[in-house]
Amino acid sequence: MPVEHIAFLKFNQEVPEETIRSLMSELERIGKTQVPGFIGIKSGSYDSPEGLNKGFNRAFIMVFENTDARNAYLSNPEHQQVAGKIIANLAGGLDGAVIFDFNAPLTPPPSPRTLAVAAAEATGKAIDSLSLSSGKAQECEATLSQVLAKLRDFMGKVTPPASATTEVKEQPKEYTPPSPQ
């Protein structure tokens, strides 16, 4: 399972942006050239009007294929040298860093129910468009009815039985996309 390695950093104010970018580039170079299983890195400066960063002014997220790849990166001598340079430029040294790793799939696959709903919406839009352009509204309605019947049947097969569901006290509001102008 992929591992995300997240760092929140509190660089001293006098550290030039160029130095920070160079350090981030070094981390990426080490991952790309020396660590099989390194997927990538994103980094950036704090950019939120909330003001809840507690002085942390930079973050990065690295993604590795698994814990072995992450561990190989952490023990890499060049990574340790760059980490030392970063710590030397942080407010309070190591106290200016928070590192948090977790295992998580990169993108969870959509559920069958989500796919069925999307298919129904797309089919409805396509048939609406066809019926408006061709003037064959009755034919399109019949086709849509057949498609919706098949989707209802499919939904019945992928929806867990009532005994397997958790009671929800309040139903979430349905999302209605904005209508085109």
**Does pLDDT of 162 surpass 80?**
no
The reply to whether 8 and 97 lie within a common domain is yes
Please tell me the total count of domains within the chain.
2
Give the helix/strand (H/E) hosting 26.
Answer: helix 17-34
**Does pLDDT of 146 surpass 80?**
no
**Least confident residue range of 103-107, 151-155, 173-177:** 173-177
The reply to whether 17 and 50 lie within a common domain is yes
3-class state of residue 42 by DSSP? strand
- Higher pLDDT residue, 74 or 157? 74
Q: Quick check: is 172 in a domain?
A: no
> CB count, 10 Å around CB of 180?
4
Kindly report the CATH number assigned to the domain that includes residue 43. Answer: 3.30.70.100
For 8, the token pair is 């929140």
- Higher pLDDT residue, 1 or 97? 97
C-alpha span between 50 and 66 (Å, rounded): 33
Decide: pTM greater than 0.85.
no
pLDDT recorded at residue 180: 56
**Does pLDDT of 169 surpass 90?**
no
Burial class (CB within 10 angstroms; exposed 0-12, middle 13-18, buried 19+) of 131:
middle
**pLDDT above 70: percentage of residues in the chain:** 73
The reply to whether 18 and 89 lie within a common domain is yes
The reply to whether 19 and 54 lie within a common domain is yes
